[in-house]
Amino acid sequence: MTRILTNKINAVICLLLLNNLCFSQGLFENELTTNQVIISKYDQLKSTLKSPSTTDTLSLGAKGILDDFSYEGPYPDTSLWLDNKVYINRDFAKAPITLGVATFDGLDYNGYPYDFTAGASTSVLADYLTSKPIHLNLPSSDSIYFSFYCQPQGIGNAPEYTDSLVVQFKHSTGGWQNVWALKGSTLAATDSSWTLVMIPITDTAFLKDGFQFRFYNKATISGNTDHWNIDYVYLNKTRNQNDTSFEDVSFVYNTASLLNDYSAMPWRQYSTADMKLNYNTTIRNNHTATKNGSYIYKMYDDAGTQVNTTYSGGSFNIDPFSTTGYMNYAPFTNPVVNYSIPALTAAARYSIESIVNSTPDNDRGNDTVRHVQDLTNYFAYDDGTAENSFGLSTLHAELAEKFTLNVADSLQYIDIYFNPFITNTSIYTFNLNVWMDASGVPGGAIYIGSSAQSPAYGMVTYNQFIRYKLDAPLYLNPGTFYVGFTQNTNQFLNVGVDKNTNTQSKIFYNVSGSWNTSPFSGSLMLHPVFGAASEFTGIVNTQNKANDFSIYPNPANDRLFINAGKTNEKITFSIFDLLGKVIIDNAVYSDLIDISNLENGVYFVRLNDGKNATTLKFIKVK
């Protein structure tokens, strides 16, 4: 894996001691360390993450065992699988077979690395995906085949040749036997190919009740890297080596924004001219025969009330993907937006539900997609999930994103999705900025934050974005403006990037006195938030106060120190592991925190002075 930084401890030393020597100047595309989607949902779902009963043995039935991962994740379907390790998503694959994939990486089920300190060149066991036991006490003459599609990298990070994806079958002796493996490789930028794997099951050691299969990957386990995607896992009888098509018409991707330029925009800024005349769907027929199908969509408000008459694309013959590629019949794949959102008097969200139907169809789960169109109080280009991040390694470097107001409005906040990295960048600072337009690039600053801010991580507002408040509302006239920050460090303050949309022409950086456009594709996850001050009463933000806490050093060996700002109050602290287990509870801080007895790993320390409480993450190393 090619990395700007690694999670090796010597890279941390390099960061701390040789800052300017470690990096050349410019904008860097950096890998993710964690999966913030899983982290944000872990607390909500952790009570359901216990492994399902292994006594619930499955039967093939008429359709066999099939999972195309088209359901909402982030965890696998517990009616089929025993593990919670892989990430079910619609974001990391290129041109999946159907909607949704299972992604293998270097992260555990809680969205954090298995081992933050693992070296970047290591390749060890990472994720497992294990089937529940299956009744397979059948003769080999039944022609039983196990198949799936796999893709290295997708739009994520490529697994190295030393990494691998492996399939094992449960042997009658109780052990697991390797039946297939593939070394890691890189997809070219224009490559979206998948490998179809067909494995016959003829050995009587596997043809028994309680049969199981499982996937696992070998990867670097210190980050969200070394990605493998799998799709359409299928086990059934009466198959053969040429049984490589499936009677299934499916969506391939989520539908995109209904807006011309943004994925979301403030309701005050919206006009009907901002709505697309048509929007796109991607439909694939996985069968070898032409299938007759139909297409409709409906639109609903946030209360679930339908706000338009149902659009119908009628019926049409959908040719096989193997012969003609994706469907290109416009009433299905480029339908007219034949409704108008009612005149907005307040913020609102709408959802559009698209349905493709053909009969018979192996899997109805991939026949429906929904898109939520947000017209509330912020601008966005991204889809809300990060597959990578951008960062600058130059002191006083600037990062900006371009937006345009239709009518005058008041900028109140800037929401930023920071990607956690090996160093605790919450100890470093930046200042928020707003710039005027200067012939298509940021010009003079019209706002410079008076207080230094720090990156923070966690679900504080929308999705995993952190809300930063301006010193005072900034009134902006109609026209182009830029929002972003100036960093007060040469450490990477990585901002998440959505790789499923591309607005790189709107992203600018300045490291040496002149502005440049991003050389990398993607959309920066940075949102300007508008509205009257009264609309935001009670909103929590992360603007620094005089008594904000920080900890040092990080990573730490045997002790931590607290920088408590100007507080004179008694400070108490508690330490938790990644699963929330209390290691030290409500102890009184004197001059240091002794962590010499902790195992290597990632922990959280909660600090409280009786008035303010802060939770910070730190890494313990030997």
pLDDT tens profile 93-142: 999 999 999 999 999 998 989 988 888 889 999 999 999 999 999 999 99
Give yes or no: residues 271 and 222 share one domain.
no
Structural domain of residue 124, as residue ranges?
A: 44-250
Q: According to the model, what pLDDT value does residue 442 have?
A: 98
pLDDT at 254 over 50: yes
pLDDT at 157 over 60: yes
Please report, for the domain that includes residue 442, its CATH number: 2.60.120
- 3-state DSSP: the chain helix, strand, coil percent, rounded to 5? 10, 40, 50
Confidence of residue 20 (pLDDT cuts 50, 70, 90): very low
Give yes or no: residues 58 and 151 share one domain.
yes
Domain membership flag for residue 32 = no
Domain membership flag for residue 3 = no
Give yes or no: residues 310 and 169 share one domain.
no
pLDDT at 415 over 90: yes
Q: How many other CB atoms are found less than 10 A from the CB of residue 29?
A: 17
pLDDT at 622 over 90: no
Give yes or no: residues 276 and 244 share one domain.
no
Q: Which amino acid is at 341?
A: I
Q: According to the model, what pLDDT value does residue 528 have?
A: 98
Q: According to the model, what pLDDT value does residue 436 have?
A: 97
Please report, for the domain that includes residue 215, its CATH number: 2.60.120.260
Distances from the Cα of 398 to the Cαs of 427, 441, 618, in angstroms? 18, 12, 27
- Mean pLDDT computed over 27-51: 81
Please report, for the domain that includes residue 596, its CATH number: 2.60.40
Q: How many other CB atoms are found less than 10 A from the CB of residue 44?
A: 9
6 Cβ neighbours under 8 A, 6+ residues apart: 119, 120, 222, 422
Give yes or no: residues 194 and 159 share one domain.
yes
**Dist. CA 567–CA 574, nearest whole Å:** 18
Q: According to the model, what pLDDT value does residue 428 have?
A: 84
Lowest mean pLDDT among 144-153, 273-282, 435-444: 273-282
- Mean pLDDT computed over 72-84: 93
Q: According to the model, what pLDDT value does residue 542 have?
A: 46
Give yes or no: residues 210 and 63 share one domain.
yes
Q: Which amino acid is at 142?
A: D
Q: According to the model, what pLDDT value does residue 332 have?
A: 97
**Dist. CA 17–CA 413, nearest whole Å:** 35
- Mean pLDDT computed over 184-207: 95
Token representation of residue 230:
């799998």
Helix segments in 339-421, DSSP class H: none
Confidence of residue 617 (pLDDT cuts 50, 70, 90): confident
SS3 331: helix
Domain membership flag for residue 462 = yes
Question: Is the pTM higher than 0.85?
Answer: no
Q: According to the model, what pLDDT value does residue 215 have?
A: 98
pLDDT at 378 over 90: yes
Give yes or no: residues 464 and 419 share one domain.
yes
CB 74 within 8 A of CB 87: yes
CB 276 within 8 A of CB 371: no
Q: Which residue has the tokens 């603007």?
A: 543
Final residue before a domain boundary, out of 221, 250, 279: 250
Final residue before a domain boundary, out of 509, 536, 563: 536
The string of pLDDT tens digits covering residues 88-105 is: 999 999 999 999 999 999
Final residue before a domain boundary, out of 345, 375, 405: 375
Domain membership flag for residue 352 = yes
Q: DSSP code of 130?
A: E
**Dist. CA 490–CA 5, nearest whole Å:** 13
**Dist. CA 318–CA 26, nearest whole Å:** 47
- Mean pLDDT computed over 212-228: 96
What percent of the chain shows pLDDT beyond 70?
88
**Dist. CA 285–CA 324, nearest whole Å:** 10
Confidence of residue 341 (pLDDT cuts 50, 70, 90): confident
Give yes or no: residues 470 and 557 share one domain.
no
- Mean pLDDT computed over 9-29: 47
Total structural domains within the chain: 4
**Of residues 425 and 586, which shows the higher confidence score?**
586
pLDDT at 15 over 60: no
Q: Of the candidates 480, 507, 510, which has an alpha carbon nearest to the alpha carbon of residue 496? A: 507
Token representation of residue 519:
């050389």
Lowest mean pLDDT among 12-21, 71-80, 170-179, 271-280: 12-21
Q: According to the model, what pLDDT value does residue 421 have?
A: 60
Domain membership flag for residue 259 = no
Q: According to the model, what pLDDT value does residue 45 have?
A: 76
| Furthest C-alpha separation in the chain | 79
Give yes or no: residues 239 and 299 share one domain.
no
Give yes or no: residues 151 and 186 share one domain.
yes
pLDDT at 339 over 80: no
Q: What is the mean pLDDT of the chain?
A: 87
Domain membership flag for residue 92 = yes
Q: According to the model, what pLDDT value does residue 579 have?
A: 59
Give yes or no: residues 599 and 479 share one domain.
no
SS3 258: coil
Domain membership flag for residue 23 = no
pLDDT at 619 over 90: no
Domain membership flag for residue 256 = no
Give yes or no: residues 555 and 587 share one domain.
yes
